[in-house]
Amino acid sequence: MIAANNPTLKSWIEVPTDSDFPIQNIPFGIIKTGHAQPHVATIIGDTLIDLAALAELGYFDDLQIDNSVFFMPYLNEFMALGKTTTRAVRERISHIFQHDNAELHDNEEHKSQVLVDAPYAQNLMPVEVRDYTDFYSSREHATNVGTMFRDPNNALLPNWLHLPVGYHGRASSIVVSGTPIHRPKGQQKPKDAEKPVFGASKLLDFELEMGFVVGQSTQLGQSVSTAEAEDYIFGLVLFNDWSARDIQGWEYVPLGPFLGKSFASSISPWVVTLDALDHFRIEGPEQDPPVLPYLQYEGKKRFDINLEVLIQPEGGNAHSVCKSNFKNMYWNMVQQLAHHTVNGCNLNTGDMCGSGTISGATPDTYGSMLELSWRGSKPLAMPDGSERKFINDGDTVIMRGFGKKDGVRIGFGEVTGKVLPAT
């Protein structure tokens, strides 16, 4: 067991019941406080921990790290140190904040510099996203979409069971939780119309996803095997892959998504390390037909992470519309990364990969409004008496996620985004 994951650990920082951030988590992110420049932080309970201050005060001196990585506006340079080093930092933080360790607890001057109440800090983008790839890896989601738009008896395209389907997305429009999203504009071809029209999307959707962050770069021409892949995956975030279904539906044949996807994607601000999620590993599904050798893997590569989506109308209360689980994936992260690089495509520190929409087997587990409302034919009733086929202006979409086992809950917080009218 990773020492920092020990379920018996307690912190001298108060941790509310069912917090996403017990001492066993220790995610990494970027915060801004007052007039200070953005810098690296973590969180225990509701208390932010300024890692730049902790480093400056000498608490990482024994790790022989260049403290400048904690003063950067993104995690990229910290992640690039490699897992041996970043794991040592997480272990050191765990030790400092354990309930029986007095070295910081009894130093009031140092605590005043290191501990930050969450309301007094702003969470920023945790990584500078270099490149972005979105996958299409839930069998249930792919089957639902194929059933709606093609032949229900042949819902999956011929390649789907043989490789993790993906496309290259837009890195620059990935934004941190809380950033408002303007309804996108573009071409659409309404049903039975002879010609396309231009205007604001009428079928704005969310997609419930997880995203993984690449921590290590590779050289052009280098492939990463499934056995090596986790060495290159630093951690995970919640990921809302906003989608304009009417724009997407008109443009995606023959080359795939473009304007229907590139206007925005939202991520949660804390990157939860693979190490912290180690306790939630489970076996993957049997893959039939058998995959090619480069996609074969050993060990537990799926993660049992509960996911939920809520819609909050402007001025109203949030209403849960979907509960799914990250384990509902046919293709896992190591297979996705191995396929991504098998042609020699290089990775950059900070690259991000979306899992694809995470849908389960029952209607209440579908991870998009496209599925939940079945292309608009089955509107969802809201507590205020309204209905939703897709997302309205003024709606805030909220996604949450956590794993829970043996009394320990490791979560991601929230990723939220409010939809503003088209400009």
pLDDT of residue 386: 96
Q: Is the omega angle on the peptide bond into residue 180 within 30 degrees of 0, that is, cis?
A: no
- Local confidence band at 166 (pLDDT 50, 70, 90 cut-offs): very high
- For 60-79, the DSSP string reads TGGGT--GGGGGSSSSHHHH
Provide the pLDDT for residue 144: 97
pLDDT of residue 313: 98
pLDDT in tens, 238-274: 999 999 999 999 999 999 999 999 999 999 999 999 9
Is residue 7 scored above 90 in pLDDT? yes
Main-chain dihedrals φ then ψ at residue 410, nearest 5 degrees = -115, 115
Distance in angstroms (rounded) separating the CA atoms of residues 220 and 120: 43
> Please, are residues 76 and 350 in contact by the beta-carbon 8 Å criterion?
yes
Give me the pLDDT at residue 335, please.
98
pLDDT score of 198: 98
Q: How far does CA 372 lie from the centroid of its chain?
A: 21
Among this protein's residues, is 141 annotated catalytic? yes
Of the listed ranges 35-39, 155-159, 235-239, 371-375, the least confidently predicted one is 35-39
Task: Tell me which CATH homologous superfamily contains domain 132-420.
Answer: Fumarylacetoacetase-like, C-terminal domain (3.90.850.10)
Whole-angstrom distance, CA of residue 290 vs CA of residue 56: 52
* Cα of 67 vs its chain's centroid, Å: 27
Choosing from 39, 141, 339, 340, the catalytic residue is: 141
Average pLDDT over residues 340-358: 98
What pLDDT score was predicted for residue 36? 85
- What mean pLDDT is predicted for residues 171-182? 98
Q: What's the pLDDT at 115?
A: 97
Calpha distance 248→260 (Å, rounded): 4
- With a cut of 90, say whether residue 119 has pLDDT above it: no
Q: What is the pLDDT of residues 363-393, one digit of tens each?
A: 999 999 999 999 999 999 999 999 999 999 9
Q: Where along the chain do its domains lie?
A: 3-124, 132-420
d(CA 156, CA 142): 7
- pLDDT (tens digit, 9 = 90+) per residue, 200-224? 999 999 999 999 999 999 999 999 9
Whole-number pLDDT of residue 403: 98
Mean pLDDT of the chain: 97
Q: Which helix (H) or strand (E) holds 231?
A: helix 229-232
Q: What is the pLDDT of residue 286?
A: 94
Residues 130 and 79: their CA atoms lie apart, in Å, by 13
- Residue 411 and residue 304 in contact, taking contact as beta carbons nearer than 8 Å: no
pLDDT at residue 96 greater than cutoff 90: yes
pLDDT band at residue 139 under the 50/70/90 scheme: very high
pLDDT tens-digit profile of 394-410? 999 999 999 999 999 99
The superfamily (CATH) of domain 3-124 is Fumarylacetoacetase, N-terminal domain (2.30.30.230)
pLDDT at 241: 98
